[in-house]
Amino acid sequence: MKIPMNMTNINYVDIMIILCCISIFVLAIVKTIKISKTDKPDTVGLFSIWLFGLFAFLLGLIEQTLNMISVFDAVAASGDINPSIIAEGASDSTKGAVTGIWILIVSLILWGTVKGLKNWKIRKSKSAH
């Protein structure tokens, strides 16, 4: 017996996770360009890069919770407790959280890289004066 998942909830959360991932890359590129073009790189904020990574992680946890609710609802509706079906549903539900963790890690790497560029440019501008 295959547990039917409620795909409506999953699709919206997946789309939001993908949008967070795209936003992270766009922000990293935009912030890098701003840092390279400005004379005052200390005015360029980098908070949003890792904030979108955190949003993706939290959305992954929401997706995992919604999937687990669907698994338990399906088990309750069928009246049959089959450990392999529960294990399969629990395994599938972790995919969103794992995706969110990877996006958070990538956002922290990009944030650190752009912050390093920003600090290098600040040091370079101070040594020039």
| Per-residue pLDDT tens over the stretch 38-76 | 888 888 899 999 999 999 999 999 989 988 898 888 888
pLDDT of 7 higher than 60: no
Instruction: Report the pLDDT value the prediction gives residue 14, as an integer from 0 to 100.
Output: 83
pLDDT of 1 higher than 50: no
Does residue 51 or residue 78 have the better pLDDT? 51
Amino acid sitting at position 69: I
CB 30 within 8 A of CB 91: no
CB 99 within 8 A of CB 61: no
Confidence tier at 8 by pLDDT (50, 70, 90): very low
d(CA 114, CA 121) in angstroms, rounded, equals: 11
pTM: 0.81
Instruction: Report the pLDDT value the prediction gives residue 128, as an integer from 0 to 100.
Output: 75
Secondary structure (3-state) at 106: helix
pLDDT digits (tens, 9 = 90+) for 81-113: 778 878 888 888 888 899 999 999 999 999 999
Instruction: Provide the 10 A C-beta neighbour count for residue 29.
Output: 12
